[in-house]
Structure 1
Amino acid sequence: MKVLVAYSSKYGATKGIAERIGSAMRRPGLDVVVARCKDVRDPSGYDAFVVGSAAYMFNWRKDARKFVRRNAELLAERPVWLFSSGPLGTDTVDKDGNDVLAGAEPKQFAEFDDLVGPRGMQVFFGAFDPEQVRGVDRIVAWMPAIHDVMPSGDFRDWKAIDDWAHRIADELAIPAAPAAPDASA
């Protein structure tokens, strides 16, 4: 079975998650390819998909949104999982007691749930290094109001990412062939 892990990443944190998912899913019977959404020209050769993007202001990046919408018919016919990265910090609940990851779901999860019927959708904590920020993002990131509340660091939970990827791989795994009957019996 050939699996595509397609991602959109601006500064590399989501790329790292996608690569980790791809590595965790590799096992006999699963041929896993990790590629940027914008580099995938013809996804019809894949049997299953894991698609993810960084989320900014509760939205997936444009090339990931376009990938899903452009290939919606194909994705709806095959096993697909979606992931997002973005929330920063170590708190799992906010000041009101709400789950941080659930509260960070991108708007597209609801749309894509109806459009392609994913088997699962997951939000992961992201990473932020203000030294890596460039362009207009750099101006925003260094504004005192943003800079003081936006924690910097790598908050990706590799165990949660590995566990999720292993569950997907288990679901896609080709069952072992039944043992041949014992001819001597």
Structure 2
Amino acid sequence: MTVLVVYGSRYGATRGIAERLAEILRSCGHQVDVQEGSALVDAKPYDAFVIGSAAYQGSWLKGPVEFVMRHIDLLADRPVWLFSSGPLGTSPTDDEGRDLLEMTRPSQFMELEEALAPRGMRVFFGALDPDRLHFLDKMVRRLPTGRRLLPAGDFRDWRAVDAWAREIAADLPGDVAQGGVS
């Protein structure tokens, strides 16, 4: 089974998740390519798709959205999984006790659920390196509220990413070897 992992990443954390998903899928016997999302990416050669993006202000980045919209009919006929990254910090809940992963589901999840019937949708914690921020994000982070909303660190849960990749691998049609990265 040939799988395309498509991602949108502003600072590299989501790209890292996409690469890790691909690594696990390969270790389980699948042929996998990883590409940054855009309308120019060709979906035709692939049997299945894992599509994700960093989420900002409740929405995916432009590239993965353009990819999906260009290929929506093809994607609707093939196995698809969607993921997002974005929440930062070590707490699974906000100050009011709400689940951060559930609260930060991008608007595209709801929009694409009916159109694509994805086999799975996940939100993962992200990472933030203040030295890589663009000027405006650096300015926001200088504010006390900005530092609280944008804490520095790598909060990605690699065990959760690996487990989800193994779920995807097990759900993909075809003969594959059991395996995976620990």
State whether residues 48 and 79 of structure 2, in contact with CA within 8 Å, keep that contact through their aligned partners in structure 1. yes
The match for 2:155 is 155
State whether residues 14 and 54 of structure 2, in contact with CA within 8 Å, keep that contact through their aligned partners in structure 1. yes
Cα offset, 1:115, TM superposition: 1.6
Cα offset, 1:147, TM superposition: 2.1
- Summarize deviations over 1:126-161 as a string: whole Å, max 9, x none: 001111102332222323331244211000000000
Give the partner amino acid of 1:156: R
The match for 1:19 is 19
Cα offset, 1:30, TM superposition: 1.2
Matched, 1:164 2:164: yes
The match for 1:90 is 90
Q: 1:95 to 1:138 in 2, by over 3 A?
A: closer
The match for 2:58 is 58
The match for 2:136 is 136
State whether residues 55 and 86 of structure 2, in contact with CA within 8 Å, keep that contact through their aligned partners in structure 1. yes
- Cα distance in 2 for partners of 1:28, 1:56 equals 32
Matches within 5 A, 1:93-132: 93-132=93-132
After TM superposition, the structure 1 stretch with the greater mean CA deviation from structure 2, 156-165 or 60-69, is 60-69
State whether residues 29 and 174 of structure 1, in contact with CA within 8 Å, keep that contact through their aligned partners in structure 2. no
Give the partner amino acid of 1:133: L
After TM superposition, the structure 1 stretch with the greater mean CA deviation from structure 2, 125-134 or 44-53, is 125-134
Q: Which runs of 5+ in 2 are unaligned?
A: 177-182
The match for 1:32 is 32
Q: Which runs of 5+ in 1 are unaligned?
A: 177-185
Give TM-score scaled by structure 1 length. 0.89
State whether residues 9 and 15 of structure 2, in contact with CA within 8 Å, keep that contact through their aligned partners in structure 1. yes
When the two chains are superposed, the root-mean-square deviation of aligned CA atoms in Å is 1.6
Matched, 1:6 2:6: yes
Give the partner amino acid of 1:24: I
State whether residues 39 and 63 of structure 2, in contact with CA within 8 Å, keep that contact through their aligned partners in structure 1. no
Give the partner amino acid of 1:122: R
- Cα distance in 2 for partners of 1:52, 1:61 equals 9
- Cα distance in 1 for partners of 2:39, 2:154 equals 26
Highest RCO, 1 vs 2 (Cα 8 Å, sep ≥ 6): 2
After TM superposition, what 4+ stretches of structure 1 lie above 3 angstroms from structure 2?
A: none
Q: 1:4 to 1:170 in 2, by over 3 A?
A: same
The match for 1:174 is 174
Give the partner amino acid of 1:86: G
After TM superposition, the structure 1 stretch with the greater mean CA deviation from structure 2, 61-70 or 3-12, is 61-70
Asked which structure has the greater CA Rg, the reply is 1
Give TM-score scaled by structure 2 length. 0.90
State whether residues 39 and 67 of structure 2, in contact with CA within 8 Å, keep that contact through their aligned partners in structure 1. no
